[in-house]
Homo-oligomer: A and B are copies of this chain.
């Protein structure tokens, strides 16, 4: 990366003008178009440094003797407990996954709790115990913590921030900037179950088949790709904004286009059916245990072989290909041979999914 000229931000007025968005809206937090604008227009300008401009899940920073990966994620999921997980295990898996997506082995987490006055102590214990169990299962330690309490009506039970530090065991460059035309886009499993499970739990919807969140650590299969010596260009977990937003973010950051094959995307029947009933596009439903691996075409079969050895990624498959095409776009080739442009999540109301 070249020299970065820092803007004189102190002289600037708010870069998101009040004629556009005078106030923060729920959509600014859904991981889609407005979240992207908030980060690019406001936070990157205020904080400006080369790390933030890489548009990746975490940053690779220099420490004595090598590099470490650093990430942060806050969790505001509602309800706190849902089929397949809870805010505690989610807070561990989310940050573990972000570290793994940098190509780093997750090692240390911090936990910042924002508690609302009146939260049942028993609920906090269940959440903390779930975090501890998830951390032990992932082989990470929660090494530092902080607890703040806000007055009743100024929170919602418990919010959790987890930040993480991971170590690089090999010299890798895994981020959108490493993606090349011709690379295949591999998805580790069926997307959207987390988003649908949380929506169903929140709205007390009952589907014919129970829908459980896919929330899980994907560090083991992601790191196994590197251990197998496979050339991995980018890793990205599918979270807020869903599969579509994750692919658009990578394409835009890479300055390349992607064609996705609808027939190749392994939708589970319950997500397909539930989305239809609710009028939601499953490509925008969040996962919390699925990731994209972008690899050179010749390495794809080996990558799939590695991923399919793990239960969490046993249904991995190639769903698209990277190509050069003027302005970076993502298009979806449908079952009937037509194509449509895929954009970031925008206008669907899916707040507080993680």
- Interface residues, chain A, CB within 8 Å of chain B? 6, 9-10, 12-16, 18, 21-30, 35, 38-39, 42-43, 46-49, 51-52, 57-59, 61, 63-66, 68, 70-76, 107-108, 110-122, 124-125, 128-129, 131-133, 135-136, 141-151, 153-156, 159, 161, 163, 165, 167-168, 351-352
A9–B165 CB distance below 8 A: no
Number of copies: 2
Q: In the complex, what residues of B have CB within 8 A of residue A156's CB?
A: 150, 154-155
The answer, among B18, B125, B351, for a CB contact under 8 Å with A149, is B351
Q: In the complex, what residues of B have CB within 8 A of residue A128's CB?
A: 42-43, 46-47
Q: In the complex, what residues of B have CB within 8 A of residue A145's CB?
A: 39, 43, 47, 52, 72
A23–B121 CB distance below 8 A: yes
A sample of 15 more A-B contacts (CB under 8 A), given A26-B117, A63-B167, A72-B163, is A6-B136, A10-B129, A16-B121, A23-B119, A24-B115, A24-B124, A28-B115, A29-B147, A46-B125, A49-B142, A61-B108, A64-B65, A64-B66, A71-B110, A154-B154
Q: Which residue of B lies closest to A21 (CB)?
A: B121
A52–B147 CB distance below 8 A: no
B129–A167 CB distance below 8 A: no
What secondary structure prevails in chain A residues at the interface with B? mixed
A159–B114 CB distance below 8 A: yes
Known: A47-B128, A132-B9. A73 touches B146 (CB 8 A): yes
B47–A111 CB distance below 8 A: yes
**Could you list 23 examples of A-B contacts with CB < 8 Å?**
A10-B129, A22-B120, A22-B121, A25-B117, A29-B150, A42-B124, A43-B111, A43-B145, A48-B132, A52-B142, A63-B63, A63-B65, A64-B168, A70-B110, A70-B143, A72-B110, A73-B146, A74-B112, A76-B148, A114-B159, A154-B154, A161-B161, A165-B165
Interchain CA distance A236-B122 in the complex, whole Å: 32
Q: Which residue of B lies closest to A17 (CB)?
A: B121
Q: Which residue of B lies closest to A152 (CB)?
A: B26
- Residue of A107, A132, A148 with most partner-chain B CB within 10 A: A148
Known: A49-B142, A154-B156. A70 touches B165 (CB 8 A): yes
B142–A39 CB distance below 8 A: no
The answer, among B9, B21, B124, B150, for a CB contact under 8 Å with A129, is B9
Q: Which residue of B lies closest to A127 (CB)?
A: B46
Q: In the complex, what residues of B have CB within 8 A of residue A49's CB?
A: 141-143
- Nearest-CB distance from A304 to chain B (Å)? 30
Interchain CA distance A112-B148 in the complex, whole Å: 14
Q: In the complex, what residues of B have CB within 8 A of residue A15's CB?
A: 125
Interchain CA distance A24-B167 in the complex, whole Å: 36
Q: In the complex, what residues of B have CB within 8 A of residue A118's CB?
A: 23-24
Q: In the complex, what residues of B have CB within 8 A of residue A30's CB?
A: 149
Interchain CA distance A299-B141 in the complex, whole Å: 36
A10–B117 CB distance below 8 A: no
Known: A52-B142, A120-B22, A142-B52. A38 touches B147 (CB 8 A): yes
